[in-house]
């Protein structure tokens, strides 16, 4: 279903440097090249042989393997942008994507930042500030901290108010790191100390918050897009309840747990959240849906392109990276924001270099890489045969995305695609996905974030 | 005597135990980091930590010796 392209303002960046690696760098480069936008890759010494480097119009080596010396090295990336004379920088996700300081450095260098204003990143980057901001705007939030929890005793006092179990989180956190659930005071005291040390280490900020823990919840998020004219629109939801260690492994749209009236309320809340921070470009508002009460609360906002954005693309026919590149240049989007349709269902399976039982990372060298193909099958891969998957970066190898007219069709197609995905030389979680697609609970659509845990006990 | 070896390529993030410690089954000895994930290395069996073969910041390969419990 191609989107109608009627532009009043067809502005688009003419060149873009992708400050990322692996599948997302390759995916951004693919759209840039399709649009005739010159694409520049940057890469670390560990990634010289990866497809995204070969497929870019130009590629610049920015440093040794550790992320802090390469993909997190703002100066090296800005120097590469200067050297290749690009007009814009696309940060992908992770690394510097939600670093407001970097976004500022990019614009200060006279370049276009393909993302929201640094202010919006900053406001949403602190989970406590974001909660307060959302509550003030009338977006529902879970009961919890309005300011950083000072110490263990303050945590215990707050938990007594909220009621156990509580969720302990790093205010500057993301990706599930440093999160834990405490069922009682003893667990809270030890969990608080651990969360602090991890927050300090991973996010350089010890601020911790507590939130009421919702025992049976679905993780449902809304894709939003802030347009150049200031409007914010919602492009539907994604259900990301299939998680291990609070990290997503499979995502689908529409959510089997959301009916039309709830959908309308969630999309309206997400638009409100975007408007509140003057959002521009692609962003995601994450919510928890309490399956017992049917109520949802704001969790956090990811101020960048989301890993699982392809499921939205599969049902809308809208290329989100294209819209990012257009909006960043002040242009119109390539579809009619007042009249677009989402049709059918889509599912993304994250293929990780990890064992399918304990989900522990398994770096290694890929000797065979055969992707499935066919109608309704899309693979966004970061690697090919002959590549080595190193321990320096996260274990995502590829995203297998399938779509069909209905959910049963998606599941059938996904089973076939998983079987047809042949990877050898290293261990992947593809057998887990085969198991997931046979799970009665997942297939019923009536599942929550406890699903993976149940499959492993 | 039990030898504990690395299951994967990883960096040694934290050394929790020290040589000479008495440890029980399931105690965390060392925390590794690989692919942005923390992986605790646990004591397999109880006894005395006779040897700790890694230090914080080391890069270890699959099969490398981490600790010996006697």
Beta carbons of B35 and A391 less than 8 Å apart: yes
**A327-362 residue pLDDT tens:** 999 999 999 999 999 999 999 999 999 999 999 999
Identify the residue whose tokens are 């992947």: A428
Question: In this structure, are residues A376 and A317 in contact, taking their beta carbons and an 8 Å threshold?
Answer: no
Quick check: pTM over 0.90? yes
**Average pLDDT score over residue span A101-113:** 98
Does A198 have pLDDT greater than 50? yes
CA distance A379 to chain B (A): 22
Q: What's the average model confidence in pLDDT over A191-202?
A: 85
B 48-67 → A contacts, CB under 8 A: none
CATH 2.60.40.10 fits B2-69, yes or no: no
**ipTM score assigned to the predicted complex:** 0.72
Chain B residue numbers with beta carbons less than 8 Å from the beta carbon of A72 are: none
Mean pLDDT of B44-68: 94
- Bridge partners of residue A297, in order along the sequence: A288
Residue A309 vs residue B27, higher pLDDT: A309
Interchain pair B39, A361: CB under 8 A: yes
**CB-CB under 8 Å, B11 with A361:** no
Best interface-test mutation with B: which of A68, A93, A198, A361 has the largest number of B CBs within 10 A? A361
CA A389, distance to chain mean position in Å, is: 21
What local confidence, expressed as pLDDT, does residue A2 receive? 45
For residue A393, what is the nearest residue in chain B, using CA coordinates? Answer: B35
Q: Is B16 on the interface with A (CB under 8 A)?
A: no
Q: What's the pLDDT score for residue A175?
A: 65
Which residue of B8, B38, B39 is in closest CB contact with A363?
A: B8
Chain A CB contacts of B8 under 8 Å are 360-363, 391
Exposure string of B12-43, with b = 16+ CB inside 10 Å and e = fewer, is bbebebeeeeebeeebebbbbbbbbbbbebeb
Are A119 and A152 a contacting pair, CB within 8 Å? no
Distance of CA A332 to the CA centre of its chain: 24
Q: Which of A304, A326, A378, A413 is catalytic?
A: A304
Nearest-neighbour CA in chain B from A360: distance (Å) = 8
Contact A393 B11 (CB under 8 A): no
Confidence grade of residue A269 (pLDDT, cut at 50, 70, 90): very high
CB atoms within 10 A of CB A204: 8
Tokens standing for A278? 């003057």
Which residues in A lie closer than 8 A to residue B9 (C-beta atoms)? 363, 390-391
Residues of B within 8 A of A395 (CB-CB) are: 35-37
Of A245, A391, A394, the CB nearest to B9: A391
Distance CA A21, CA A1 (A): 29
What is the C-alpha end-to-end distance of chain B, expressed in Å?
Answer: 4
Confidence of residue A457 (pLDDT cuts 50, 70, 90): confident
Give the best residue of B10, B37, B60 to mutate against chain A (max A CB count within 10 A): B37
Q: How far apart (Å, rounded) are the C-alpha atoms in residues A420 and A418?
A: 5
Q: What is the pLDDT of residues A353-370, one digit of tens each?
A: 999 999 999 999 999 999
CA distance linking residue A397 with residue A432, whole number of Å: 15
Q: Which residues pair with A354 in a beta bridge?
A: A361
Question: Residue A148 and residue A161: Cα distance in Å, rounded?
Answer: 16
Longest CA pairwise span in chain B (Å): 32
A344 near A403, Cβ under 8 Å? yes
What whole-number distance in Å separates Cα of residue A137 and Cα of residue A102?
28
Question: How crowded is residue A54: how many other Cβ atoms within 10 Å of its Cβ?
Answer: 13
Residues of chain B with C-beta less than 8 angstroms from the C-beta of A354? 35
pLDDT at A6 (0 to 100): 62
Contact assignment for A353 to B10 by CB distance below 8 Å: no
Which of A177, A245, A394 is the closest to B35 by Cβ? A394
Q: Which of A69, A245, A391, A393 best probes binding to B when mutated, by most B CB atoms within 10 angstroms?
A: A391
Lowest mean pLDDT among A109-123, A178-192, A232-246: A178-192
Q: Once rounded to an integer, what is the mean pLDDT over residues B38-53?
A: 92
Q: In the structure encoding, which two tokens stand for residue A135, read together?
A: 């509550």
Per-residue pLDDT, averaged over A112-136, amounts to: 96
Q: State whether B34 and A353 contact (CB < 8 Å).
A: no
Token representation of residue A436: 């997931």
Percentage of chain A lying above the pLDDT 70 cut? 98
- Check residues B39 and A16 and name the one with the higher pLDDT: A16
List the single best residue of A249, A360, A364, A388 to mutate versus B (max B Cβ within 10 A).
A360
Q: Residue A3's pLDDT band (boundaries 50, 70, 90)? A: very low
Tell me how far apart the alpha carbons of residues A208 and A246 are, in angstroms, rounded to a whole number: 17
pLDDT at residue A77 is higher than 60:
yes
Residue in A with minimal Cα distance to B11? A391
User: Is A265 known to be catalytic?
Assistant: no
Mean pLDDT of chain A: 95
* Contact partners, residue A86, CB within 8 Å, separation at least 6: A15, A16, A17, A38, A40, A111
Average of per-residue pLDDT across B49-67: 94
- Residue A5: predicted pLDDT: 54
The domain spans of chain B are 2-69
Rounded to whole angstroms, the Cα distance separating B13 from A360 reads 16
The pLDDT assigned to A1 comes to 39
User: Please, what are the domains in chain A?
Assistant: 15-114 (3.40.50.20), 143-212 (3.30.1490.20), 217-455 (3.30.470.20)
Instruction: Provide the H-helix boundaries in A329-426.
Output: 407-419
- Which residues are registered as beta bridge partners of B68? B3, B51
How far is B59 from A367, CA to CA, in rounded Å? Answer: 24
Distance to chain A for B61, nearest Cα, Å: 10
Tell which residue, A409, A412, A435, A416, has the closest CA to residue A371.
A416
Distance CA A84, CA A87 (A): 9
User: Distance from B46 to chain A by nearest Cα, in Å?
Assistant: 23
Residues 6 or more apart whose Cβ sits within 8 Å of residue A412: A404
Backbone φ and ψ for A340, nearest 5 degrees, come out as -130, 160
Q: What number is the average pLDDT over the span A302-317?
A: 98
Sheet of strand A232-244: strand arrangement: A296-302, A281-290, A217-226, A232-244, A247-253, A345-352, A396-404, A377-381
CA-nearest residue to B60 within chain A is A391
Reported as a single tens digit per residue, the pLDDT across A353-412 is 999 999 999 999 999 999 999 999 999 999 999 999 999 999 999 999 999 999 999 999
Q: How confident is the model at residue B5 (pLDDT cuts 50, 70, 90)?
A: very high
């Amino acid at each position: 279903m191609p989107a109608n392209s009627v532009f009043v303002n067809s502005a688009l960046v003419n060149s873009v440097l992708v400050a990322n690696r692996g599948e997302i760098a390759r995916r951004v480069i693919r759209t840039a090249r399709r649009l005739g936008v010159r694409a520049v890759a940057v890469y670390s010494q560990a990634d010289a042989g990866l497809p995204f480097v070969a497929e870019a119009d130009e590629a610049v080596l920015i440093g040794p393997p550790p992320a802090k010396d390469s993909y997190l090295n703002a100066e090296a990336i800005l120097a590469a942008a200067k050297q290749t004379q690009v007009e814009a920088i696309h940060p992908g996700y992770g690394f510097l994507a939600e670093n407001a300081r970097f976004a500022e450095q990019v614009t200060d260098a006279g370049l276009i930042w393909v993302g929201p204003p640094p202010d919006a990143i900053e406001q949403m980057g602190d989970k406590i500030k974001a909660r307060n901001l959302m509550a003030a705007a009338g977006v529902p939030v879970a009961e919890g901290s309005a300011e950083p929890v000072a110490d263990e005793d303050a945590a215990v006092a707050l938990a007594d108010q909220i009621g156990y179990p509580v969720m302990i989180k790093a205010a500057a956190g993301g990706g599930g790191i440093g999160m834990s659930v405490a069922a009682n005071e003893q667990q809270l005291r030890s969990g608080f100390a651990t969360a602090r040390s991890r927050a300090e280490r991973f996010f350089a900020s010890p601020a911790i918050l507590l939130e009421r823990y919702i025992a049976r919840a679905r993780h449902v998020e809304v894709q939003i897009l802030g347009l150049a004219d200031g409007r914010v629109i919602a492009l539907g939801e994604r259900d990301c309840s299939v998680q291990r260690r609070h990290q997503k492994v499979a995502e689908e749209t529409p959510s089997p747990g959301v009916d039309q009236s709830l959908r309308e309320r969630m999309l309206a809340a997400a638009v409100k959240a975007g408007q509140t921070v003057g959002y521009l470009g692609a962003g995601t508002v994450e919510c928890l849906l309490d399956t017992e009460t049917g109520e949802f609360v704001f969790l956090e906002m990811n101020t960048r392109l989301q890993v699982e954005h392809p499921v939205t693309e599969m049902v809308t026919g809208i290329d989100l990276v294209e819209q990012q590149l257009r909006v960043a240049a002040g242009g119109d989007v390539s579809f009619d924001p007042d009249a677009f349709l989402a049709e059918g269902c889509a599912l993304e399976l994250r293929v990780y270099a990890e064992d399918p039982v304990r989900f522990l990372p398994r770096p290694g060298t890929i000797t065979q890489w055969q992707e499935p193909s066919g109608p309704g099958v899309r693979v966004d891969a970061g690697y090919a045969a002959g590549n080595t998957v190193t321990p320096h970066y996260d274990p995502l190898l590829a995203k297998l995305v399938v779509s069909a007219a209905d959910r049963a069709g998606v599941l059938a197609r996904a089973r076939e695609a998983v079987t047809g995905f042949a990877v050898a030389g290293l261990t992947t979680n593809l057998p887990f996905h085969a198991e997931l697609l046979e799970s009665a609970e997942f297939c019923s659509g009536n599942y929550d974030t406890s699903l993976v845990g149940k499959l492993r006990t | 005597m039990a030898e504990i070896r690395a299951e994967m390529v990883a960096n040694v993030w934290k050394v929790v135990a020290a040589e000479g410690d008495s440890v029980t089954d399931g105690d965390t000895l060392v925390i590794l980091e690989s692919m942005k994930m923390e992986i605790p290395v646990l004591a397999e069996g109880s006894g005395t930590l006779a040897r700790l073969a890694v230090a914080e910041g080391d890069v270890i390969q699959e099969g490398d010796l981490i600790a010996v419990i006697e």
